[in-house]
Amino acid sequence: MTMRIDGKKVAGEIKADLSKRVARLAAQGVVPGLGTVLVGEDPGSVKYVAGKHADCQEIGIRSVRKDLPADADFDQIAAAVRELNADPACNGFIVQLPLPKGIDENAIIDMIDPAKDADGMHPYNLGELVLHVRSEITTPLPCTPRGVIELLKAYDIDLNGKEICVLGRGITIGRTIGLMLTRNAVNATVTLCHTGTKDVVDHMRRADVIVAAMGQAGFVTPDKIKEGAVLVDVGVSRVFDEEAGRYRIKGDVDPACYEKASAYTPNPGGVGPMTRAMLLANVVEMAERSL
């Protein structure tokens, strides 16, 4: 029987544990703080940041917001980053992307104090991830890949020795999850497929696990997977529903695959809640390290 991997449920359990850890920190005089830098009023970004702060309130983390107008220039955004770097009430923070056209996003990310990099995407922290193949990592980890691994672990899905096909080479997960999956602690074999891969379907059909992060609705179909594969759907597309007369969120995995799979993550309700939970986990761990 195919297993539905419930990201909302696991994220809720993680947040309950984090709430207890936050209470223990508060008893020692430390209240973890998550900061956000939001530029402009893009609806998606506003909703995403609001969700982060709602999560903070839920588990007792302090919120520190830096909201800038859409016409903010590089120097204004850089100043907000420097303020959060120096703010003792903020243990970790994110700069919400995308930034306005013409702003060098990588230059802004480079300015974040690596010890306060709540997304785990600063070049220093990514370098630490590359270096620590066998030893423990004490720097922040990228939230989405970490969320995927924690989610599969919660359902006792062993990745040791498994063939994993990753679809998509974006920095959020595609380029980073392979670094985490091939560490000794996980010990999987990873094939990263992208637009230059000659026979994507051949790689997919050989995979024990497919991590789909292309942003191409319904790309993974039953004829492209093997019997009993585990399907992790990370892709997000807005597709117009003719019957409902509105846009809906669709993942990269066609639901018709579920009967053939041994396990799958729904989309929405799978990896998304885990990404948010891992951001909170990074901040709590930063506060714990400060002691």
Residue 127 counted as an annotated binding residue: no
Residue 235 annotated in ligand binding: no
d(CA 234, CA 223): 20
pLDDT value at position 291? 85
pLDDT value for 196: 96
- Helix ranges, 28-142 (H): 43-59, 74-86, 105-111, 123-131
- Kindly list the structural domains of the chain, giving each domain's residue range(s) and its CATH number in brackets, ordered by start: 29-113 (3.40.50.10860), 143-271 (3.40.50.720)
pTM score: 0.95
For 252, the token pair is 């990269």
Q: Tell whether residue 31 is among the known ligand binding residues.
A: no
- 238 a known binding residue? no
E strand or H helix that includes residue 192: strand 189-193
Residues with active-site annotation? 52, 96, 119
Q: Over the stretch 102-138, which tens digit does the pLDDT of each residue have? A: 999 999 999 999 999 999 999 999 999 999 999 999 9
At 43 the pLDDT is 87
Averages of pLDDT over runs of 10 residues in the chain (291 residues) are 97 98 97 97 90 95 96 98 97 96 96 97 97 94 98 98 97 96 97 97 98 96 98 92 86 97 96 96 96 85
pLDDT score of 72: 97
Pairing of strands 263-264, 230-233: parallel
Predicted local confidence at residue 66, as pLDDT: 97
| pLDDT recorded at residue 121 | 95
pLDDT, residue 149, reads 98
pLDDT at 141: 97
Chain position carrying tokens 């209470």: 23
Longest dimension (CA), the chain: 57
